[in-house]
Amino acid sequence: MRGPAIDLVLLTMLVLFIGIQQHARPLARNRLWFAGWVCFYLSYVVWEFQLAQPLLDGLREALRFDLLLLCQLIFVISFVTSAKSLRRVVLLGTVIGIPAVLVFNAWQVTDIPLALLVAAVVLWQVYGIYAVRRLDMRTWRLRRVLILCICVGYGAAFVAHLVWGGNPDMQNWVLAELLLFSAILFAADDQHHTVLGIMGTAGFLMWATFYLADAGVELKLLPGWLHWVGVFWNVPKYFVAFCMVLQMSEDARKEKEQLADRYRDLYEDFHLVFERNPHPMWIYSEQTSRFLSANRAALKAYGYAEQELLTMDVREMLADTAAEDLPDRPPAAASELGQSVRLHHRRKDSRVMVVDVTEHRMLFQGEAARFVLAVDVTEMERESRELLHRAHHDALTGLPNRHELDDRIDACLVRCERDHRMAALLTIDVDHFKQINDTYGHRVGDECLKAVAARLQSRIRQVDTLARSGGEEFMAIIGALQCAADARKIATMLLRIFAKPIELADLEIFITISIGVALFPDDSTDRETLKQMSDEALYEAKRSGRNMAVFAAQHGEPYLLSAGAENLPVA
């Protein structure tokens, strides 16, 4: 019985509406429902065509049946999309179902052997039993039991009628069975007790009942007056579509509620971590750089009250010239987001703290903002500087050590070469220092070394370097000299500053020094060669009687300076 053209319009609107719904929420089940209704719509379109030739009309009916069958199979699959073995079951069903469908299609066009038809029906039911047992339906065992009963009982009745009752309406029997499966599966485990689940199940049952009633009238198993029921044959499918649309809307509502719950949980977790985190954290506006929120650790670390801090600009916390370099950018804007940058922040009491700052973009109360984590590394920075100082300086005197001296010699020689000046490398040794240790002990000896370092340092310019190279030996690099005479004056001055004894508590200790001097570039332009020549000149000063300075000379005689003479040649 053909429906009016209004049904075609309604189905078109229905398919478009479900398509829009699944596009907005593209879940696997929603896409399958849309595909199923497209197949049903195409079957309706095919059904509306009238063909004069019986063969073509049979092919049309076969195509219509295939589209309806595909529609119902898609509906069945849509209810078990979460099953673990679904792909394997569908692949096997395609291999088994194609021959059975070909037999059903052939039945639409011509007579086929009864044995072949029975075999197709049996194969169809056996596959249904396999699929039910293979798919995981343990969440609701009653569904599994009902479908198994339908496969066995329905299939046995179908085969019995084929053998003893004649040729039934194959389309109605097959489609009604699939609709019964959908009716059972629609009552999902999370909604079978709800009104929506009951309505969907009832819709599929009514749809299946119409097919069974039509088949029963054709087989004269039911009275012919039931044909008038066909007037309402469109009602079940619209009822099912209405339930599917409601289910999609209900799923969307539940998803929004779950999303809202997750956001609320995330916010509560963030708020808990934010407030109780031991490190300072705050949020500020990207547009105004004003504080929007700060945790208790930030308030405690910086010494501000919450209301006071919320009136401030984050750039006001900077304690260095970075604020001038970032007039329109926040404190951590000098680095990429998510990367740590080390800054100096000023507390309310004007004390400076060193912090590692990390920023991330976020939305705070609908406003573009940045979340900042500041880790106080003031103590770690101090310890790091101290370790670095120890690595390059002598622990006793605080002077640069041999490694630091090498770097400074290289830098001094580069400057002198650039400025066309001379430099002097002095190796200084305390005379008879072993006797001081043996007489007064190593503790007094250490104090003497510290005093010697202080006296030498008092006569060395800040641009030059005095270093302790080991034991009682010191080295000095003096740059920017005009001539060798400047170096001799410096050596003489260093010798004379030890004319007075070193006073330590109740002790007065007389100390003299010996100096070896090498000149750049007169003696050499290489650091290691200058050091070697300076050491050799020091050895010469020791051998010649100590308390004097000896100048190395690559060309000519070396020069000797004593504490009482300015320029005496070596005898």
Q: Report DSSP letters for 494-562, one per residue.
A: HHHTTSSPEEETTEEE---EEEEEEEETTT-SSHHHHHHHHHHHHHHHHHTTSSEEEE--SSS--EEEE
Report yes or no: 355 and 374 within 8 Å, Cβ to Cβ: yes
- pLDDT at position 133: 74
Q: Is 188 helix (H, G, I), strand (E, B) or coil?
A: coil
* Residue that has been written with the tokens 């299946």 in this structure: 208
- Mean pLDDT, rounded, for 334-347: 76
- Mean pLDDT, rounded, for 525-554: 91
* Residue that has been written with the tokens 């220092």 in this structure: 433
Residue 97, number of CB atoms within 10 A of its CB: 18
At residue 138, does pLDDT exceed 60?
Answer: no
Domains and CATH numbers, the chain: 5-257 (no CATH), 278-382 (3.30.450.20), 393-569 (3.30.70.270)
DSSP letter at 365? T
Residue 474, number of CB atoms within 10 A of its CB: 28
At residue 85, does pLDDT exceed 60?
Answer: yes
Q: Where are the alpha helices (DSSP H) in 49-85?
A: 54-78
- Mean pLDDT, rounded, for 271-278: 85
- Mean pLDDT, rounded, for 246-258: 83
At residue 228, does pLDDT exceed 60?
Answer: no
Confidence band (pLDDT; 50, 70, 90) for 493? very high
**Residue 221 tokens, joined:** 């198993």
154-168, 325-339, 491-505: which has the highest mean pLDDT? 491-505
- pLDDT at position 167: 57
Report yes or no: 475 and 467 within 8 Å, Cβ to Cβ: yes
State how far the Cα of 101 lies from the Cα of 88, in Å rounded to an integer: 19
Write the pLDDT tens digit of every residue in 466-491. Answer: 999 989 999 999 999 999 999 999 99
Least trusted range by pLDDT, from 245-259, 356-370, 517-531:
245-259
Give the bridge partners for 313, in sequence order.
Answer: 290
My answer on whether omega of the bond before 26 falls inside 30° of 0, hence cis, is no
Cα distances from 64 to residues 47, 48, 57, in angstroms, run 6, 10, 10
- pLDDT at position 531: 94
Q: Where are the alpha helices (DSSP H) in 371-441?
A: 378-392, 402-419, 433-440
At residue 551, does pLDDT exceed 50?
Answer: yes
Radius of gyration of the CA atoms of the chain, in A? 49
State how far the Cα of 204 lies from the Cα of 244, in Å rounded to an integer: 11
Confidence band (pLDDT; 50, 70, 90) for 328? very low
If we measure between CA atoms, which residue out of 233, 105, 106, 118 comes closest to residue 176? 233
Cα 236 to the center of its chain, rounded Å: 51
Higher pLDDT, 528 or 19: 528
Is residue 359 annotated as a catalytic residue, yes or no? no
- pLDDT at position 327: 42
State how far the Cα of 480 lies from the Cα of 393, in Å rounded to an integer: 24
- pLDDT at position 89: 72
If we measure between CA atoms, which residue out of 132, 138, 136 comes closest to residue 177? 132
Burial class of residue 57 in the structure, from the number of CB atoms within 10 Å of its CB (0-12 exposed, 13-18 middle, 19+ buried) = middle
- pLDDT at position 193: 58
- pLDDT at position 329: 46
Type of residue numbered 24: A
Type of residue numbered 556: G
Between helix 141-149 and helix 114-134 the angle, nearest 10°, is 170
End-to-end CA distance of the chain: 139
State how far the Cα of 344 lies from the Cα of 335, in Å rounded to an integer: 15
Confidence band (pLDDT; 50, 70, 90) for 324? very low
State how far the Cα of 296 lies from the Cα of 316, in Å rounded to an integer: 19
**Residue of 177, 359, 472, 540 with catalytic role:** 472
**Residue 25 tokens, joined:** 């929420």
Write the pLDDT tens digit of every residue in 453-468. Answer: 999 999 999 999 999 9
Write the pLDDT tens digit of every residue in 384-399. Answer: 888 888 888 898 999 9
At residue 542, does pLDDT exceed 90?
Answer: yes
- Mean pLDDT, rounded, for 31-47: 86
DSSP notation for 12-54: HHHHHHHHHHHHHS--HHHHHHHHHHHHHHHHHHHHH---SSH
At residue 216, does pLDDT exceed 60?
Answer: no
Confidence band (pLDDT; 50, 70, 90) for 137? low
Report yes or no: 394 and 466 within 8 Å, Cβ to Cβ: no
Burial class of residue 110 in the structure, from the number of CB atoms within 10 Å of its CB (0-12 exposed, 13-18 middle, 19+ buried) = exposed
* Greatest distance between any 2 Cα atoms in the chain: 148
